[in-house]
Amino acid sequence: MILTTEQVRKIAALARIKLTDDEVEKFRKELSVVLDYVSELEKVNTDGVEEISQVTGLENVLREDIARLSEFRDAIIASFPERKDDFLKIKSIL
């Protein structure tokens, strides 16, 4: 499994990570090694096998949907990278 530079650029864009040209080439090689490594899995016959995502067998753990005040409001606001008063500041979107 050999990835192309275009594929790596697309993956990086989806993952929201900026890469230099050198990094694109580095990760192209390294990701190809990993994908090559996992390709052996094709050999396992999984016909009729259902996938598993919760290994201890729990399903739909529910709780009541009750609104409550966060005790952390001020501390969370204090950790914003940039703020104006109590508002989180970001770059303009439009």
Partner 1 sequence: MELAYLEISELAEKLRKKEISSVELTKYFLERVKKYGTENELNAFLTITEKEALLQAEEADRILSKDPNASVLTGIPYAAKDLFSTKGIRTTASSKILDQFVPVFDSTVISKLNSEKSVLLGKTNLDEFAHGSSTETSAYGPSKNPWDTTRIPGGSSGGSAAAVAAGLVPFALATETGGSIRLPASLCGVCGWKPTYGRVSRYGVIAMTSSNDSPGTIARSVKDLAYTAEILSGHDAKDSTTSVKDIPNYAANLRSDLKGVKIGVPKEYFVSGMQPEVETKIHEAIEKLKELGAEIIEVSLPLTKYGSLVYAIVTPAEISSNLARFDGIRYGHRSKDAKELLDIYAKSREEGFGDEAKRRIMTGTYALSAGYYDAYYLKAQKVRRLLVNEFNDVFEKVDALVCASVPNVAQKIGTAKDNPLFGYIADQLNIPASMAGLPALSIPCGFAKTEDDTSVEMPVGLQIIGPQWGEQNIFNIGHAYQTITDWHKKYPKGFGE
Q: Give me the least distance between CB of 84 and partner 1, in Å please.
A: 15
68 binds partner 1 (CB under 8 A): no
Q: Are 4 and 28 in contact (CB under 8 A)?
A: yes
Torsion of CA 8, 14, 16, 20, to 10 degrees: 20
Q: By CB under 8 A, is residue 63 in contact with partner 1?
A: yes
Give the other-Cβ count within 10 Å of 53's Cβ. 4
User: How far apart are the C-alpha atoms of 31 and 3, rounded to whole Å?
Assistant: 8
When asked if residue 67 is in the footprint of partner 1 (CB under 8 A), the reply is no
Q: Is 19 in the site for partner 1 (CB under 8 A)?
A: yes
The Cα–Cα gap between 89 and 94 comes to 14
Smallest gap from Cβ 41 to partner 1, in A, equals: 5
Residue ranges binding partner 1 (CB under 8 A): 3, 7-8, 11-12, 14-19, 23, 26-27, 30-31, 33-35, 37-38, 40-42, 44, 46, 49-56, 58, 61, 63, 72, 75-76, 79-82, 88, 90-93
